Amino acid sequence: MPIIEAIKSRNSNAFMSGEDIDPDLIRKILDAAVCSPVHYMTNPWRFLVISGDGRKRLGAVMADHMARGMTDPDSTDNKKLLDKIRKKPFRAPVIIVAGAAKPIIPKAKMIENVASVTAACQNILLAASALGLSAIWRTGGMTYAEDTAGLLGFEDDTELVGFIYLGYASKDMPPKPRPTSEDFTHWLTD
């Protein structure tokens, strides 16, 4: 498929079956991810591939984060809510957590590492779509909490950029109307 068509027809789809994804397919997707542009060749891409019972670990991190913001996490309602949160990672057979490593040389900027990993996330979405997988990029408050990256095993000072849920579609998504760029663009010509 021509690249412009691939970009325009990509759609996030959260409706996924429980069917496993071959790890070789995930490797193919991640090899596409690390083709994103990068300044100073800092290789900032860090990925954690979560599947199977690994999703319990992620669910626990998500629930613990939420519980910390509750005055009474042991109330019946809050316990129910926390149980629901714990199950959230089970919405997909595979979740790729994408993080940006801190710069390795003084002149490199964290924002540029994050930019490169952000572009890698788009590569993941496009590669998944090309390989017949559904995908959706998620974050949520705990993504940016100070301890989340460490709890998931990333090195110190890694900034998490996204949790990309991947699976086979259980329901097709109709194409979305897309904006045209004209509303967001100024042309400086003289």
Write the CB contacts of 140 (distance below 8 Å, at least 6 apart in sequence). Answer: 62, 163
Please give the full DSSP string across 106-154, using - where no structure is assigned.
TT--HHHHHHHHHHHHHHHHHHHHHTT-EEEEE--GGGGSTTHHHHTTP
With respect to ligand FMN, which residue has the nearer C-beta, 15 or 137? 137
Phi and psi at 123, nearest 5°, equal -60, -40
Name residues contacting ligand FMN, limited to 85-124 (CB under 6 A): none
With respect to ligand FMN, which residue has the nearer C-beta, 14 or 40? 14
Please report whether residue 15 would count as binding ligand FMN according to CB under 6 A: no
Provide the mask over 122-161, with x wherever binding to ligand FMN is found by CB under 6 A and - wherever it is not.
--------------xxxxx---------------------
Minimum CB separation from ligand FMN for residue 62, in Å? 11
Please report whether residue 176 would count as binding ligand FMN according to CB under 6 A: yes
Q: Which amino acid is at 95?
A: I
Minimum CB separation from ligand FMN for residue 176, in Å? 5
Please report whether residue 40 would count as binding ligand FMN according to CB under 6 A: no
Please give the full DSSP string across 151-166, using - where no structure is assigned.
HTTPPTTPEEEEEEEE
Q: Which has the closest alpha carbon to 49: 66, 28, 69, 68?
A: 28
Q: List interacting residues with ligand FMN (CB under 6 A).
A: 11-12, 136-140, 162, 176
